[in-house]
Structure formats: structure tokens, C-alpha cells
Structure 1
Amino acid sequence: MSIQSIVAIMDKLCSLHESLYTLSKEKTDMLKEGDTQSLQTLLIKERKHIQAISQLDREREKQVTNWFQSKGIPANEPTITTMLENIQSQEEKQQLEDVFERLLDVLAGLKQQEQLNQELTQQSLQFVELSLDMLQPSMKNMNYGKPNTNQADQGQKRSVFDSKA
């Protein structure tokens, strides 16, 4: 297994994550505007990106495991970091390290953007709940008795016709 195939897969992962980051920024704008129709469409695109990323990541894991096996290096955790420690060629090591750092940068930005989106979604949800609470009548006011009467007052009132039997 060559390092070049792993670098190519990681480069594709970077591209997909960058595209997902762009979608995440668009989602922020849609959340601010309250455009639910466009948001639905965007979420479908986002889901497709995530599926493609998952598939590529499985392929990357398989390639890295194969690389460790082909080099005869026992690895409990076949990771890119462990791989960087075992690469002999400086050029290949530099290529892999560059694409790895690029991926980490994109992931950090994506994580930050998604946290912002989550906060905006929470605020929108709180606003909707507050609006619903204001529109729904309070259960304390829902009764069938006369307004402004107390139970103690009702016993002391006498009728106009007071009769004793």
C-alpha cells in the first residue's frame, strides 16, 4: 500500500469537509432568517455529505490498516499519527502531515460553526416555546364559577326570601 493512496483519500476527505463547512455557514444564515424551506433542502445535502464522508473514512481506515500490515508494523491503533512516526521517506511524511493538518483545521472550523448553529437552534426553540406559552391560556383561569367569588363568601350570603321550616 502506498502513502499516495492514503493522501488522496485524505485530500478527498478535506474537500468534503470544506464543502460541509460551507453548508454549515449557509445553515447559520438560514437559521438567522428563519427560512425553514431552504433549511430542509440544506439538511438533505448535509446528510449526503456526511454519508460520503463516512464511506471515505472507512476506506481510509482500511488503507491505513493495509499499510501497517504491508510494512509488517504491529499496530494496536492504526492511526495517521502512528503512521507518521513510521514513515521513512521525508517527502511522503511531509505530504501526509500537510493533508492531516489541513483536515484538522477544517474539522476545528466545522466544529465551531456547528456549535454556533446549535446555539441558534436552541434560541429559536426557546422563542417558539415562549410564544406558545404566551398564546395558550393559563389553566388557573379556566373554571366554571362566578368571577371574583370565594368559597367562604358563598355561605354567608342569604337569599331575599328567608324562610324557616
Structure 2
Amino acid sequence: MSVHTLIDLLEQLDTVHHHMLDLAAEKKKVIIANEVESLIKIMNQEAKLVKQIEILEQKRAVSAQQYLRERGIKSELNLNLTELSRLVFDVEEKKRLLAIQEKLSETLQKLKRANELNQKLIEQSLSFIDLSLDILVGRPNQDVTYHHPADRSGNMARSGLFDSRA
């Protein structure tokens, strides 16, 4: 086995992560449009891609271990790509390995930023829903007017149908 198998697996990982990045962009649109059904479909697609990534990651780890054994290294260390590239002596293979490492790293950073943005959008949507519920259901009277702390005779019941802050 050569380093080509490892490079091919890394390229496949990059491709799947690009699909995740595309889904993240779609997810952003449906979050903004408040399309819950579409969001669920996207999340199901993401789950399938995550399974693919897990399988490719396992294959990558096995491939890296095989490469190390073929080089006479019996260690079971889980080396990262930079460390592994130090054991690749063919200049072209090393360049390809480092290039795909950089490409995959950039893709992962983009995906991380997209996921962080989507998380913030979801948090904002939930805050808006909570505020809307508070406006619709109404706040309890004690939140609006002053009551002396010793005065327990004030109405403690919420005036709405349910406590949205629970």
C-alpha cells in the first residue's frame, strides 16, 4: 500500500465535508425562512453524511496504520497528517498529502464557521419565539408593578395559559 490510498481517502473526506458545507448553506436559508419541515430534511441528510464521514475516518486510520507498518514502524500511535508526512520520502507524494491536508483543513474551518452562524440564528429564533410568547401570553403582574417584598398577598399566578419560561 502506498500513500495514494491515504490521499484518496482524504480527498473523499474533503468531498463529503463540502457536501456538509452545501447543506449548511441550505440550512441557513431555511432557518431564516422558518421552514421547519425543510430543516428536518436537511438534518436527516446531514446525519447520513456524518455516518459516511465516520466510515471514511475509520478507513483513514486503518490506512495510516498500514502505511506505518509497511515502513517498519510498529507503533500504534495515531499520528496526525503533519507527523505522517514526515515519513513520506517521495517528494510528489508528500506534496499531495500536504496539499490535501491544507484543503481539508480549509473546508473544515468553513464548515465550523457556517455551523456557528446557524447555531446563532437558531438561538435568535428561539429568543424571538420566547419573546413572542411572553407578549402573547402576558407577564405576571408582579413583574410590572412594585410590591413590597414582605407583602405576600400579591397575585402570584401567571395571567397567561402557561409559563413559557419553564
SS at match of 1:86: coil
- Note the alpha carbon deviations across 1:103-129, whole angstroms, 9 max, x for none: 001001000010000000000010011
- Note the alpha carbon deviations across 1:60-113, whole angstroms, 9 max, x for none: 011101111111124633221111111110011011111111100100100001
Q: How does 1:106-117 map to 2 (within 5 A)?
A: 106-117=107-118
RMSD: 1.4
How many residue pairs get aligned? The number is 141
Which structure 1 residue ranges, 4+ long, deviate > 6 Å from structure 2? none
1:64 touches 1:80 (CA, 8 Å); kept in 2?
A: no
Q: Distance in 2 between matches of 1:14 and 1:140?
A: 56
Distance 1:75 1:85, change over 3 A: farther
Q: What is the TM-score when the length of structure 1 is the normalising length?
A: 0.81
Q: Distance in 1 between matches of 2:79 and 2:111?
A: 25
- Is 1:42–2:52 an aligned residue pair? no
> Please, which runs of 5 or more residues in structure 1 have no aligned partner?
142-165
Q: How does 1:10-89 map to 2 (within 5 A)?
A: 10-73=10-73, 74=75, 76-89=77-90
Correspondence for 1:152 = none
- Is 1:6–2:2 an aligned residue pair? no
**Which structure exhibits the higher relative contact order, with contacts defined as CA atoms closer than 8 Å and separated by 6 or more residues?**
1
Q: Distance in 1 between matches of 2:127 and 2:33?
A: 16
> Please, which runs of 5 or more residues in structure 2 have no aligned partner?
143-166
